């Protein structure tokens, strides 16, 4: 079976700096893939390449076998790749419902009128925000703004969901709720790429992980296996100094 | 249509019907002020349809207006007057689309400068054409009266309102609100932002060209300096901002008082108009950043809050 998303030799250079270096990986349908690595390892840049925020310098990215790399972001979104942003981005002049409708009206599966509103209400219900549908986004708590952004991406029924540190900045209670929410999406069989730092979330949510360091892939496989890999531990924690007696 | 929409449409239709009666009840002085108000209502409302949500300040109004004036001025030799209006609309829309494709990827400041330059560019081309052909200006001689011009401009304004109302409720309107809020989000939600901006920019282009075409017979004699005056572009921006661009009815709330103010200024200080125009621009930007619309909604919000506490 063809993977939903595959990267082959995906590379991004900024002048002399290689932010993403010949990255290869596949995401299968219904899979939650963790994209992890230390700060500055190129995870967010990789998401930007997939979502079309940045064009890759070399390599190809394909969605169900058709090449999407090089397309503008709006075409990639229409083909079924939806994303959240590392720093939450909402539409400040609109209500919660209208924010979510943006995804329902212009996303992968396009709806309009009552249809779009009903779809927006369905996903708001899924993220637990249906009671705040008419609220202006300025009145929301931090985790609720994240829920709205997630609902906006879900509303267009994308084939792949890219979550860029969606759990970052949440307090312990919120984190629990957040993890439960993403687990619910996973149980619904959605295909998700998760860029994440929160280890508990990675362990409990990801089927597989791709680990990046300085722009390159250094490990890939089942989550537990990858997290115990000496090379991965070294990338995160540095080389252990020989003990001085 | 919601109850609120229906009420808005009813009020709009009544006001336009009332406005259409003006020539029957007033002398020629007030009729000429009426023409000015109807003209700027069409220009400023269509300007705000694009520039309001996108925050791209266009100074190209004079370019489109002048092209419309010349379309009628030249076209009237070869065809009936009424045919020149749709032709002006098409030329204005096409030119706006070309300008849009060329510049709307630029950031705001470059767009402003380009649109200001555009009016000057078209003016120079026409001046050059006249030098080559030997003609200095154009005579537009028709039997069209001031009343006719007033009614045409009022009808055009009504069309602009109708277009604005329909667009606001359409996918295009929703798309432009999203991209006005956050262009990055718009793109990643699947909105073709460049296409949305170009489509929307064609509206003020077409409307300004038709406005110029309608007014050509009023000038009788047209030359580039009249048809392409940059003052026009600035006045449209000032009136729209004074009224406020957040609502469809915002610009007209700026047009009416500004027209009277301007009438007083140019009557009393005919040599200082540009200076006073600049001053009024500063006052508006500093004291009324959201225009009269902002003031009105603030007051409304205060009243309803007080009501809630009572």
Best of B5, B189, B195, B246 to substitute, by most chain A Cβ atoms within 10 angstroms, is B189
Long-range CB pairs of A226-233, under 8 A, 24+ apart, other chains included:
A227/A199, A227/A202, A227/A203
Question: Could you say which of B181, B184, B189 has the minimum Cβ distance to residue A106?
Answer: B189
The residue count of chain A comes to 245
Best of B182, B190, B197 to substitute, by most chain A Cβ atoms within 10 angstroms, is B190
Q: Half-sphere exposure (CA, 13 Å, Cβ side) for A155?
A: 35
Summarize pLDDT for B258-307 with one digit per residue, the tens. 999 888 888 888 888 888 888 888 888 888 888 888 888 888 877 776 65
Over residues B103-129, the mean pLDDT reads 86
B227: exposed, middle or buried (Cβ count in 10 Å: 0-12, 13-18, 19+): buried
Tell me, yes or no, whether B84 lies in a domain: yes
Q: Is A150 on the interface with B (CB under 8 A)?
A: no
Summarize pLDDT for A132-172 with one digit per residue, the tens. 999 999 999 999 999 999 999 999 999 999 999 999 989 99
Tell me, yes or no, whether B299 lies in a domain: no
Tell me, yes or no, whether B135 lies in a domain: yes
Q: Is A77 on the interface with B (CB under 8 A)?
A: yes
Tally: H helices and E strands in chain A: 9, 10
Over residues B128-136, the mean pLDDT reads 82
Name the residue ranges covered by the structural domains of chain A: 1-70+193-237
Contacting residues of B for A136, CB less than 8 Å apart: none
Over chain A, what is the mean pLDDT? 92
Look at chain B and report how many structural domains it folds into: 1
Distance, in Å, from the CA atom of B44 to the CA atom of B245, rounded to the nearest integer, reads 9
Query: And the tokens for A187?
Result: 């149980």
pLDDT, residue B277, reads: 82
Tell me, yes or no, whether B241 lies in a domain: no
Q: Is B306 on the interface with A (CB under 8 A)?
A: no
Hey, are the CB atoms on B181 and A92 less than 8 Å from each other? yes
**R_g of chain B, CA atoms, integer Å:** 20
If one counts every other C-beta atom within 10 angstroms of the C-beta of residue B264, the result is 10
pLDDT, residue A110, reads: 93
pLDDT, residue A242, reads: 63
Please name the residue that has the structure tokens 């300096």. Answer: B225
Distance, in Å, from the CA atom of B258 to the CA atom of B39, rounded to the nearest integer, reads 13
Q: Which residue of B has its CA nearest to A100?
A: B189
pLDDT, residue B188, reads: 96
**Domain with B162 in it:** 3-229
Tell me, yes or no, whether B180 lies in a domain: yes
A85 pLDDT tier (thresholds 50, 70, 90) = very high
Tell me, yes or no, whether B85 lies in a domain: yes
Contacting residues of B for A112, CB less than 8 Å apart: 171
Give all strands of the β-sheet with A58-63 in edge-to-edge order: A17-27, A5-14, A58-63, A66-67
Contacting residues of A for B244, CB less than 8 Å apart: none
Summarize pLDDT for B187-215 with one digit per residue, the tens. 999 999 999 999 999 999 999 999 999 99
**By the 8 A CB rule, do A163 and A182 touch?**
yes
3-state helix, strand, coil in chain A (%, to 5): 40, 25, 35
Give all strands of the β-sheet with A192-195 in edge-to-edge order: A81-83, A160-164, A192-195, A32-36, A208-213, A216-222
Q: How far away is chain A from the Cα of B246, in angstroms, using its nearest Cα?
A: 11
Summarize pLDDT for B20-57 with one digit per residue, the tens. 888 888 788 899 999 999 999 999 999 999 999 988 99
**By the 8 A CB rule, do B56 and B197 touch?**
yes
Distance, in Å, from the CA atom of A235 to the CA atom of A239, rounded to the nearest integer, reads 8
A239 pLDDT tier (thresholds 50, 70, 90) = low
DSSP per residue, B135-170: ---EE------HHHHHHHHHHHHHHHHHHHHHHHTS
Contacting residues of B for A51, CB less than 8 Å apart: 188
Q: Is the pLDDT score of B310 beyond 60?
A: no
Contacting residues of B for A108, CB less than 8 Å apart: 190
Over residues A5-33, the mean pLDDT reads 95
Tell me, yes or no, whether B213 lies in a domain: yes
Summarize pLDDT for A100-110 with one digit per residue, the tens. 999 999 999 99
Hey, are the CB atoms on B190 and A91 less than 8 Å from each other? no
- Top pLDDT among B137 and B181 is at B181
In angstroms, the Cα distances linking B252 to A206, A222, B146, B238, B258 are 57, 64, 21, 12, 10
Hey, are the CB atoms on B184 and A89 less than 8 Å from each other? yes
Q: Is the pLDDT score of B105 beyond 80?
A: no
Nearest to A210 by CA among A47, A48, A34, A18: A34
pLDDT, residue B191, reads: 96
> Under CATH, to which class is A1-70+193-237 assigned?
alpha beta
The contacts of residue A103 (CB under 8 Å, 6+ apart) are A82, A120, A123, A151, A152, A153, A154, A155, A156, B189
Best of B188, B194, B246 to substitute, by most chain A Cβ atoms within 10 angstroms, is B188
Tell me, yes or no, whether B64 lies in a domain: yes
* Sign of the four-CA dihedral B2, B7, B8, B12: positive
Question: Could you say which of A53, A91, A112 has the minimum Cβ distance to residue B178?
Answer: A91
Over chain B, what is the mean pLDDT? 90
Best of A92, A102, A154 to substitute, by most chain B Cβ atoms within 10 angstroms, is A102
8-state DSSP, A242: P
């Amino acid at each position: 079976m063809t993977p939903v998303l595959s990267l082959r030799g995906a590379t991004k250079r900024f002048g002399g700096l290689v932010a993403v270096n010949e990255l290869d990986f596949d995401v299968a349908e219904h899979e939650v893939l963790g994209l992890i690595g230390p700060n500055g390892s190129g995870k967010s840049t990789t998401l930007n390449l997939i979502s079309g925020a940045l064009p890759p310098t070399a390599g190809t990215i394909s969605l169900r076998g058709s090449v999407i790399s090089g397309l503008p972001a709006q075409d990639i979104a229409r083909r079924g790749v939806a994303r959240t942003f590392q720093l939450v981005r909402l539409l400040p002049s609109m209500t919660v419902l209208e924010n979510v409708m943006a995804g329902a009206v212009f996303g992968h599966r396009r709806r309009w009128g009552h249809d779009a509103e009903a779809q927006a209400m369905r996903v708001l219900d899924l993220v637990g925000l249906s009671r705040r549908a008419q609220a202006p986004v300025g009145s929301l708590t931090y985790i609720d703004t994240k829920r709205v952004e997630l609902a906006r991406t879900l509303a267009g029924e994308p084939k792949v969901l890219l979550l860029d540190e969606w759990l970052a900045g949440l307090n312990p209670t919120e984190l629990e709720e957040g993890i439960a929410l993403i687990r619910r999406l996973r149980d619904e069989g959605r295909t998700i790429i998760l860029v994440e730092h929160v280890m508990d979330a990675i362990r409990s949510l990801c089927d597989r992980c791709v680990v990046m360091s300085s722009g390159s892939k250094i490990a890939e496989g089942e989550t537990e296996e990858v997290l115990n890999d000496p090379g991965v531990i070294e990338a995160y924690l540095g080389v252990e100094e020989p003990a001085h007696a | 249509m919601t109850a609120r929409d229906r009420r808005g449409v009813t009020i709009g239709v009544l006001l336009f019907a009332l406005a259409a009666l003006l020539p029957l009840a007033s002398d020629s002085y007030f009729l000429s002020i009426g023409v000015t108000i109807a003209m700027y209502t069409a220009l400023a409302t269509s300007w705000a349809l694009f520039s309001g949500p996108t925050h791209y300040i266009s100074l190209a109004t004079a370019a489109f207006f002048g092209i419309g004036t010349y379309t009628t001025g030249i076209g009237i030799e070869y065809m009936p007057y009424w045919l020149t209006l749709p032709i002006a609309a098409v030329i204005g829309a096409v030119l706006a689309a070309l300008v849009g494709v060329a510049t709307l990827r630029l950031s705001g400041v470059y767009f402003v400068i380009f649109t200001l330059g555009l009016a000057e560019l078209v003016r120079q081309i026409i001046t050059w054409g006249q030098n080559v052909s030997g003609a200095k200006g154009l005579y537009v001689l028709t039997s069209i009266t001031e009343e006719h011009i007033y009614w045409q401009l009022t009808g055009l304004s009504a069309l602009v309102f109708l277009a604005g109302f329909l667009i606001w409720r359409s996918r295009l309107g929703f798309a432009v609100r999203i991209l006005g809020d956050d262009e990055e989000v718009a793109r990643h939600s699947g909105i073709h932002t460049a296409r949305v901006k170009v489509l929307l920019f064609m509206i003020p282009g077409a409307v300004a060209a038709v406005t110029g075409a309608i007014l050509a017979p009023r000038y009788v004699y047209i030359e580039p300096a009249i048809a392409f005056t940059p003052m026009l572009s600035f006045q449209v921006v000032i009136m729209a901002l004074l009224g406020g661009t957040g609502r469809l009815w915002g610009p007209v709330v700026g047009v009416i008082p500004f027209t009277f103010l301007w009438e007083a200024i140019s009557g009393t200080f005919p040599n200082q108009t540009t200076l006073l125009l600049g001053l009024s621009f500063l006052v508006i930007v500093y004291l009324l950043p959201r225009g009269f619309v902002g003031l009105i909604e603030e007051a409304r919000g205060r009243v309803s809050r007080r009501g809630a506490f009572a």
